[in-house]
Structure 1
């Protein structure tokens, strides 16, 4: 008897996740700052409550409850709370080499009720699979957590790993479907984005001015504002026309000129207060910036009286 041949359709997988690197559900305090990291796999962060400021090599983002942001492989990202509202965040890092993931590059998306329900199912299933409680509150930065915090339970529920894969892939598919063909939702309009960057630069300048005598370094600024060095350098130069170090020199010279005009300190004291290693070095820097030595500047000011 001849075998009957059945036609079939081989199902395509347009998004396939094969690795899970981490699950974090954290309740951060309002002053929490994470200085940043980068890694060679995908990650998303969802804000369950409160607000956070996220900075990547691409841009800065302000996320509120219901927002999700994606980090591409090897994209630097840092987090800072707004010092007003303590946020809760859910973070998942995973491996996926599917071409469709390009959709999520530099994306911040707003989740609807169905996507949030998938997130809830994902958290519940992960808690059944992994030994460490997924939803345990934490105010620690990720760098303070174990390097490999995920460990399978001895007897996880049947199919738990497969359901995690299904829920996560379903979430990504739904997000693409709902947002495909729509203009990407930036953190703000281009005008507002520019204003946000100006405000950030102004805050950096205010910090430099207030802490000038402490000689703030680039590393200090990166930690204070949760920025990468490359982004800080680029942002600052775009809005001031000079680098951070050059700007600090300008601030020092302006303070030196003010002290000279007010005659509150002699030249040696001014040099010491502003962090110069010697009077000679101070004089040289002053002349480079103003075209005259400190004593010549002082005489010019006295002549105007």
Structure 2
């Protein structure tokens, strides 16, 4: 984060002023700045004045009190630099035009920087150029996909059940909230060997990832942050918003960037108050486990508050801060996700599933299901039957 020339930190080297405009003894030199790297700085025997005409630039000033280490300031407004301070300019934009006002009898000296001063523009290193396909599937026990390879990346995320996959001769097991990325041209198979259905999301995309060796051939267990990214991706797949597809691409880019630095992120100290955050994490995990245990019952938010001796507002804040959803919405989402698994099992009617999960009526359940998944429960059951 750069300071500006209007900040208090700059007062050591100069100050904001327009006084040069009325000083007829100054001579003006107009020059164009195109460099992003500088190795030489300049100092004048008298105060000099700087005016930006076009573009955006940084002034680098050697700190004499700190081994001449350069301090960088984004130029904001006109300013003067005190006599004897070594400085130079780096453009932030493609080029910048600067007026430098100097006294007629001033002298200039130079200083070679101990190492080049470099401005690194903020530009993306990774791009997802296209999402080729995406689908959410619920597969029954005994399902087996005999394998394929293609030139794209393929992401598989399991949100319920277990999925066995073989990648070029190596077996992996994906459980709840596990994710695996297949690299281009990696031959892979998938099957379900457990006695429970498995639901999972697959996204196939094209990207310019250069070194992906650290994110293939391994199973990632997704923290809540990653799950929330995927949840936002899924919501955008049915959104009528004009930039929904752009958001889908940005979410996948965000997730891949997290995976590329996954091992580093695990060691970053996240909260500024770790004891409080640790307490919140443990409490939230207990509440989520409780919701899962009570999934087949009506579960008012007040019941959760009573069980965990927590106020309604505290519970709301806990969910909003960590999951970005309200408790009631999370409960509904959990019940709807469970209903998809039960429909897949084909052991109960839609009406029975609605009742089992504590919905007030089949009509209410059907309306919620349709709103969430853009398909009615009956149509979903028929689609599963047709796919088998």
Structure of higher CA gyration radius? 2
Higher helix share: 1
- After TM superposition, the score normalised by the length of structure 1 is 0.48
- After TM superposition, the score normalised by the length of structure 2 is 0.38
The answer to which structure, 1 or 2, has the higher relative contact order (CA under 8 A, 6+ apart) is 1
